[in-house]
Each structure stands twice: as C-alpha cells, then as structure tokens.
C-alpha cells in the first residue's frame, strides 16, 4: 500500500507540478489540501485541476471564521505590527494552515506533508515550525530545497514538466507579481519591486482598491462598535468578524486605505521588498487603537506596546504554537476587558480621520482635562510633583557642576 502525502495545494503552477513530481520520485499517493483563508475566486476550478494533475483526492477546507476570530483578532487586540508597517497578513495565516494540514494528515493516515514554499522565504519556516509543534512525527517535504531531485528552476521548466506528464493547464510563460491573498490582505512581490529605487506600478498592481489619488473626492463616515476588543458592528449593522473585515476591505479599497510599500527583514537574513494591500485591516487596527486610547491607563498602554512588538516578532517568525505566544496573548486579552464602546471616523483619500469616540469605561474626565480647576486636581500639587519627579535631573546637574569646579 502506498504511503500518503498531504500537499498544501494552491492550484498554482508550483504546486501543480509538485503532484506528478511526488508520485514519480517518491511513489506517494498525493492528497491535495487547499486551505481557504479567503482567497476568493482563486479557488475556482481547483478540483478538476488537481485530478488532471494526478492527485488522488482534494480537500478544500474553509477556515475563514477560525482565521478571523482565533488568529487575526489576537493580533488586532495586541496592535501587532512588524517593523512599523506590516500587518502580518501572510504570517497570521500560516499557522492555521499548518494546523489544518496536520488534521487532514491524521485523518488520512499520511506520513508526510509537502509545501511549495521556496528556500529563501519566511513561509517555509512558518509552515514547518507549525507542523513540528503539532505533529513532530510527520515527515516534511520541501521540493525547492531538494535541488538534487527538484531540478526545475523556472516557470518554463515547470510548464514543460507538466506537459511531459500529460498535464496541459492554462499556465503561460508570462511573468507577473508573486502574490499571496487571504481575507486580511494581498501581498505583491517581484517585477519592478525587486529594485528599491523603482516606484511601484500601482496601476498594474492593485487588486483590492485604488490609490488615494483615485479615491472619491467626498469622504465617508463610518461608525463601529467593539465589545471587549472585538468588533461587533459597522454603521449599526451587527456582523461576525469575518464579514466585518470583508465590509471594511470594500470601504477601505474604495478610499485608497492601507497600501504599504516596505523593505522588510526576513527571518532568513535577507531584506525583501513588497507592497501590501490591507484596506480593511488598516481600518480595523486604527479603530481599535482609537477606542483603546480612551480606555487603557498609561502604564498598561506602555507595557502593551512592548507586547505588541513581541507578538509581531513571534508571529512573523512562525512561532505561533509556543508557550511564549500563549503568554503574550493572555496578557493582551486581560487588557481587553473594558475595550468596549463606539468609534466614528471618516475615510478620505488614504486617511482615517477621527470623528469621535465613546465608551462606558472611558478614563477621560472632562473636568480634569479642562483648564478650569476641578475637585480632583489642585494646581499647587504640581509643584511638589515636579520637584520630586525632576530630583534626579537636578542632583545630577549639581554634581556635574561640582565636579567641573573641582577639576
């Protein structure tokens, strides 16, 4: 009886070529598994393509709600952003994909999992750390790192290989951006982006929206509600998290929100340039921040910023299934107990402009913040506070002056 391998299958040229390659070089029965994280029309025609390529079976697993609620939202609540700009769209999706691949492997009695990530990128790390954490006994096959067996080096090579194995599929030799899409974002790499001095060709590139220059001349007001850090409605309409992100993607794309051009530091040590479209995610993160600044105290905000950076690094490096991620997330969740309220903002030509925030747990006191003297604040108290708060600075200045005098 043939051993089974679970192939993380996208239906693209790489994973299509991998199917006959696995059968020819290892004699595996290939079970394709396409994980639906919100790729949309990219899933059309996959079943026929997989079977034509020689797969024994195809799973199409819809994990959009799990992705939104258990992976995206912890990062939103934390405010996790990698290197100030990247909202972790691909990074957040890889652990949930790895988890489902392992579940299918167990169901099918497979002995191995295969992925099509390259040997230069982050995804190989994210997939494999997830698999190792959840199923250390399973073998991992990474064709692009097996250069003694995987001899294809270009799209032309892969197309020729497929045709030689009787697979005539609608792939051509044209080159386009390397893209990754899910509910949260779409990334673009390659072509002119490989030259950091070149301006992105947004006319050719953008999928989810338009540039700010092409956005409407009129702004649009949006109202959102949150309960314990989780979004619950847009403009009075209650929705589940995944539908809120879908709606915000449409609104944000329309108004040129969330287009980021970044040169980031990959885990493997090199810099890479990409353009990310995250219209809905950018709005959601900003709306959540807008509410938090009204509710969280200064000391908690200060530590939470550190935890946000730590979680961004953890997720970017593929270390989702670790005690550290669980501990950081537990801290973040404890800060969300009172992040409940309503935020209003205006979308206008790439900008998210505040238009008011309310919460039953607001720590803002108008009587304290105003210039009039309230019952809780006596201006004279500031003198003693400043004396003590500035004492180290004063003592140091006195000692330095004394040292110079005696020198």
pLDDT of residue 267: 97
DSSP 296: S
Average pLDDT of every residue of the chain: 95
Cα distance between residue 239 and residue 56, in whole Å:
38
Residue 355 structure tokens = 């238009």
Among 135, 164, 193, the domain boundary falls at 164
H or E segment at 301? helix 298-316
> What CA–CA distance (Å, rounded) separates 226 from 341?
5
Per-residue model confidence as pLDDT tens digits over 341-384: 999 999 999 999 999 999 999 999 877 776 666 677 888 899 99
Concerning whether 14 is annotated as a catalytic residue, the answer is yes
Average pLDDT of the residues in 189-215: 97
Q: How many CB atoms lie within 10 A of CB 23?
A: 19
Q: Are residues 107 and 219 in the same domain?
A: no
Where does residue 168 fall: left (phi above 0), alpha (psi -120 to 50 degrees), or beta otherwise? Answer: beta
Query: What are the angstrom distances between the C-alpha of 22 and each of 8, 98, 202?
Result: 13, 19, 38
Q: How confident is the model at residue 92 (pLDDT cuts 50, 70, 90)?
A: very high
Those residues with Cβ within 8 angstroms of residue 198's Cβ, 6 or more apart along the chain or in another chain: 192
* Residue 104 and residue 240 in one domain: no
- Same structural domain for residues 204 and 142? no
In a domain, 318, yes or no: no
* Residue 385 CA, distance from chain mean position: 43
Question: In sequence order, what DSSP letters do the residues of 13-54 get, joined into one string?
Answer: HHHHHHHHHHHHHH-PEEEEEEEESS-GGGGTTHHHHHHHTT
Q: Which of 112, 138, 164 is the last residue of a domain?
A: 164
Is residue 203 scored above 80 in pLDDT? yes
Those residues whose C-beta lies under 8 Å from the C-beta of residue 142, and which sit 6 or more positions away, are 114, 115, 117, 119, 124, 128
- Find where tokens 């219209």 sit: 279
Active-site choice (10, 36, 94, 187): 94
Q: Are strands 4-8 and 29-36 parallel, antiparallel or unpaired?
A: parallel
Catalytic residue flag (residue 243): no
Q: Is residue 152 part of a domain?
A: yes
Looking at the fold, whether 150 and 270 belong to one and the same domain comes out as no
Contact 242, 64 (CB under 8 A): yes
Rounded to the nearest 5 percent, the helix, strand and coil shares of the chain are 45, 20, 35
Domain count, the chain: 3
Question: Contact at 8 Å (CB) between 123 and 189?
Answer: no
Query: Does 381 lie in the same domain as 347?
Result: no
How far apart (Å, rounded) are the C-alpha atoms in residues 214 and 212? 5
Place of tokens 């995804």: 123
Question: In angstroms, rounded to a whole number, what is the distance separating the alpha carbons of residues 131 and 186?
Answer: 24
312 in a domain, yes or no?
Answer: no
Residues 148 and 191 in one domain: no
Q: What is the pLDDT of residue 3?
A: 97
CA dist 132 and 402 (Å) reads 62
**pLDDT, tens only, 254-269:** 999 999 999 999 999 9
Same domain, 31 and 151: yes
Assess contact for 64 and 183: CB atoms under 8 A: yes
Q: Is 271 helix (H, G, I), strand (E, B) or coil?
A: strand
Q: Does residue 217 sit within a domain?
A: yes
The mean pLDDT of 390-397, rounded to a whole number, is 96
136 falls within a domain: yes
Please tell me whether residues 99 and 52 are part of one structural domain: yes
* Rounded Cα–Cα distance for residues 331 and 10 (Å): 35
- Distance in angstroms (rounded) separating the CA atoms of residues 282 and 85: 10
Q: Is residue 195 annotated as a catalytic residue, yes or no?
A: no
Catalytic-role residue among 10, 14, 53, 187 = 14
pLDDT at 371: 65
Task: Name the 3-class secondary structure at 400.
Answer: helix
Instruction: Of 186, 262, 222, 211, give the one whose Cα is nearest residue 352.
Output: 222
CA–CA distance, 73 with 69 (Å, rounded to integer): 5
Annotated active-site residue in 62, 65, 155, 178: 178
Which structural domain, as residue segments, surrounds residue 396?
374-406
Specify the higher pLDDT residue, 172 or 301: 301
Q: At what angle do helices 241-254 and 279-295 cross, to 10 degrees?
A: 110
Catalytic position from the list 36, 91, 123, 181: 123
CATH code of the domain containing 120: 3.40.50.620
Which residues are 189's β-sheet partners?
Answer: 178
The pLDDT value given to residue 375: 72
* Residue 91 is assigned to a structural domain of this protein: yes
- Has residue 46 been placed in a domain? yes
Q: What is the pTM of this model?
A: 0.94
Residue with tokens 């393509």: 49
Q: Are residues 344 and 210 in the same domain?
A: yes
Q: Would you say residue 226 has pLDDT above 70?
A: yes
Rounded distance, CA 244 to CA 241, Å? 5
- Can you name the residues that pair with 114 across neighbouring β-strands? 7, 141
**pLDDT exceeds cutoff 80 at 94:** yes
pLDDT in tens, 285-312: 999 999 999 999 999 999 999 999 999 9
Name 220's Cβ contacts closer than 8 Å, sequence gap at least 6: 251, 254, 255, 346, 347, 348
CATH classification of the domain holding 235: 3.90.1260.10
How does residue 168 score in pLDDT terms, banded at 50, 70 and 90?
confident
Q: Are residues 251 and 346 in the same domain?
A: yes
Same domain assignment for residues 387 and 273: no
Indicate whether 37 belongs to any domain.
yes
Specify whether 212 is located in the same domain as 273.
yes
């Amino acid at each position: 009886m043939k051993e089974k391998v679970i192939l993380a299958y996208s239906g693209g040229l790489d994973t299509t070529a991998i199917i006959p390659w696995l059968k020819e070089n290892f004699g595996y029965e290939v079970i394709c598994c396409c994980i639906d994280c919100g790729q949309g029309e990219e899933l059309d025609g996959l079943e026929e393509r997989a079977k034509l390529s020689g797969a024994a079976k195809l799973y199409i697993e819809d994990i959009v709600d799990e992705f939104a609620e258990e992976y995206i939202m912890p990062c939103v609540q934390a405010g996790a952003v990698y290197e100030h700009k990247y909202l972790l769209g691909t990074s957040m999706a890889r652990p949930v994909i790895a988890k489902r691949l392992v579940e299918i492997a167990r169901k099918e009695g497979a002995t191995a999992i295969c992925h099509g990530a390259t040997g230069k990128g982050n995804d190989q790390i994210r997939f494999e750390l997830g698999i190792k954490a959840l199923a250390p006994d399973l073998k991992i096959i990474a064709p692009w790192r097996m250069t003694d067996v995987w001899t294809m080096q270009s799209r032309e090579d892969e197309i020729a290989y497929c045709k030689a194995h009787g697979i005539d599929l609608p792939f051509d030799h044209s080159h386009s951006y390397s893209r990754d899409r899910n509910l949260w974002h779409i990334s673009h790499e390659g072509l002119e982006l490989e030259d950091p001095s070149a301006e992105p060709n947004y006319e050719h590139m953008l999928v989810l929206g338009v540039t700010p220059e092409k956005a409407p001349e009129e702004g649009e007001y949006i109202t959102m509600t949150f309960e314990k850090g989780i979004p619950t409605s847009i403009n009075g309409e209650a929705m589940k998290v995944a539908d809120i992100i879908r709606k915000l993607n449409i609104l944000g794309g329309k108004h040129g929100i969330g287009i980021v051009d970044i040169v980031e530091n990959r885990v493997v040590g090199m810099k890479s340039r990409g353009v990310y479209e995250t219209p809905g995610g950018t709005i959601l993160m900003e709306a959540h921040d807008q509410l938090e600044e009204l509710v969280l105290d200064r000391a908690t905000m200060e530590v939470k910023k550190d935890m946000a950076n730590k979680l961004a690094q953890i997720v970017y490096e593929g270390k989702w299934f670790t005690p550290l991620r669980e501990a950081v997330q537990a801290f973040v969740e404890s800060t969300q107990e009172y992040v409940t309220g309503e935020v209003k903002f205006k979308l206008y030509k790439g900008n998210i402009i505040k238009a008011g925030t309310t919460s039953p747990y607001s720590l803002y006191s108008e009587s304290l913040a105003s210039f009039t003297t309230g019952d809780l604040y006596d201006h004279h108290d500031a003198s003693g506070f400043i004396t003590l708060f500035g004492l180290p600075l004063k003592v140091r200045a006195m000692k330095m002056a004394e040292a110079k005098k005696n020198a």
